[in-house]
Every structure is written in structure tokens, then in C-alpha cells.
Amino acid sequence: MKVKARHHLRNDARKKILDELKSIFGSEIEQFFVDKKFEIAETDEYDFILVDGEPILFMLGEKPFPTIRGALKFKPKRKRVIVDMGAVKFVSKGADIMCPGIIDADTEIQKGDLVIVADEVHGKPLAIGRALISGEEMMGDKGKAIKSIHYVGDRMWKFEVSETSLNI
């Protein structure tokens, strides 16, 4: 990914991002961001929100959502889908998530929502994806439930920040 620009976010832009995150994950998420420095890194693929220099969020259009690193940091309880251990190796390589591999899903998830996919044993985030069906429908016997967007080991996962540049 090529970085086009990097700059600090104004307070109003920061507030807008935090308000959006609170509407998705609840007000408890706000405590993670207290006294943190926000920057935006614009790339040729996504815009990343750097929180104290780490790519914790990325923007899909106007909507912020945690990267896997972000989900690992603040462990959101909403918008989560849990997969069985048989699905982990496939999800970790970027595969879309199929209904038979899902053992639990947030029933508030609607078709089109961004979701965090985690494993059943440790609850660690493995991927970020877009729901193709509602959370209630995800625990079915067949079909694709989530389109993978970002997974452990991909370019977004490897995205690193230094003081002078951003690289992957």
C-alpha cells in the first residue's frame, strides 16, 4: 500500500469517529481512546486511523472499524462472530466464512454490517468481514455468511508505522 498523506486529526473529526464507534460497539469502547493521539494515514487502498501511532482503525467509506490489531486491543463484545477450531486455519488465510463453521454470532448483526470473526477457544480476532446474512441466520447448515475483508497475515495486518514513514 502506498501512503499518500499522514496528518493529525482535528478534534471534531476525532469526535465523529468516536461517536460512530460508540454507536457500533457501545459507550464502553470510549475508555480505550481516552488521552490518545489520533492521526490519519491515507493510502491507495484504505485510510487508517493511527491511535498513538498504531493502525487501530480503518475507514470503509465514512465508517471507522477496528483492524484486527484494534480488535485485539479493545476486545469489543458486539459485532462478533465465533467460529469453531476447524474453520480457524481457513479464516486465517483469508477464506470467506461459511455457516457450518459458525458456533455463535451477535444477533444484532444485520446483512451488510462489518463484523469481527474470532476463534472459539481463545476468542482472538482472526478476520474482519462483511455480513452476507443476519446474525440469526449465520448459525445455519449451509451457505456463505461473511465475506472476508482483512485477516491475520494480510497486507493490512503487516502495515507498520515508523516516525518518518509508513510501510508494509
> Model confidence over 69-97: pLDDT tens digits?
999 998 888 999 999 999 999 999 999 99
Residue owning grid cell 478534534: 11
With a pLDDT cut of 70, the percent of the chain lying above it is 95
**All structural domains of the chain with their residue ranges:** 3-73, 80-151
Question: In this structure, are strands 80-83 and 114-119 parallel, antiparallel, or unpaired?
Answer: parallel
Mean pLDDT of 93-121: 96
Instruction: Report the CATH number of the 3-73 domain.
Output: 3.10.450.120
Looking at 1.20.1440.80, 3.40.50.300, 3.40.50.410, 2.30.130.10, the CATH number of the domain 80-151 comes to 2.30.130.10
Handedness of CA 113, 145, 67, 26 (dihedral sign): positive
Burial 116-135 (b: 16+ CB within 10 A, else e): bbbbbeeeebbbbbebbbbb
> Model confidence over 16-67: pLDDT tens digits?
999 999 999 998 888 888 889 999 999 888 999 999 989 999 998 889 999 9
